[in-house]
Amino acid sequence: MIQVIHTILLIVYIIVCVALTIVVLMQEGKQAGLTGAISGAAETYWGKNKGRSMEGGMILATKILAALFVVISLLLNLKIFA
């Protein structure tokens, strides 16, 4: 039974790793917003509602996937599965 749980966790871990890599690579660089700050542009509608945009969703997905990555990593390294 423990071996089955370990195998399931390992499969979920691999899926989380691939998804985290894809989500991080899809995000816009932070320097894209830096040019507006340097030129003195006022905060736009896009900047105010960034949390509701696709970019905001990707940031949230990154945080959730990173937390899952850490939790599953710790679970896989428990002595129970050894």
| Cα gap 66→60, rounded to integer Å | 10
Q: Which two tokens stand for residue 75?
A: 């679970």
The set of long-range contacts for 43-47, using a CB threshold of 8 Å and a minimum separation of 24, is: none
pTM of the model: 0.73
pLDDT in tens, 30-57: 665 555 555 555 555 555 566 678 888 9
- Domain membership flag for residue 21: no
- Domain membership flag for residue 67: yes
Q: 65: burial class by Cβ within 10 Å (0-12, 13-18, 19+)?
A: buried
Tell me 78's DSSP state: S
pLDDT value of residue 14: 98
pLDDT value of residue 38: 59
AA identity, residue 79: K
- Domain membership flag for residue 31: no
Q: Please state, in angstroms and as integers, the Cα–Cα distance from residue 26 to each residue in 23, 43, 50, following that order.
A: 5, 24, 16
Q: Give how many domains the chain has, as a whole number.
A: 1
The range of the structural domain enclosing residue 69 comes to 53-82
- Domain membership flag for residue 60: yes
pLDDT in tens, 1-28: 889 999 999 999 999 999 999 999 998 7
